[in-house]
Amino acid sequence: MMKLGLLGNSVANSLSPSIFERLFNLHQIQGSYTLFERNEFHAEALLDFFHLHQLCGLNVTMPFKSDFIHSLNKVDDSAQLIGAINTIVLEHGELVGYNTDYHGIQKSLSVLGSPQSALIFGTGGASKAVQKVLKDMDVSFLVVGRSGGDYTFKSLPDDIAAQSKWWINCTPVGFEGHSEDLLPLPFGILNKEFAIFDLVYKPTITPLMKKGLNAGAAVLGGELMLTEQANKAWDYFHAAYYNKM
Q: Which of 3, 65, 128, 132 is the catalytic position?
A: 65
Distance CA 129, CA 123 (A): 10
Going edge to edge, which strands form the sheet with 141-145? 151-152, 141-145, 118-121, 166-169, 195-198, 218-220
Going by the DSSP 8-state scheme, the letter that residue 198 receives in this structure is: E
- Tell how strand 31-37 and strand 2-8 pair up: parallel
Q: Which of 244, 224, 239 is nearest to 87 (CA)?
A: 239
Q: Which of 203, 242, 233, 235 is nearest to 219 (CA)?
A: 203
- Tell how strand 218-220 and strand 195-198 pair up: parallel
Does residue 65 carry a catalytic annotation? yes
Distance CA 51, CA 37 (A): 18
* Kind and range of the H or E run holding 77: helix 77-82
What backbone torsions phi and psi does residue 202 show, to the nearest 5 degrees? -145, 115
Dmax over CA atoms of the chain, in Å, equals: 58
Residue 116's SS3 state is coil
Distance CA 25, CA 40 (A): 33
Distance CA 190, CA 235 (A): 39
Which residues are tagged catalytic? 65
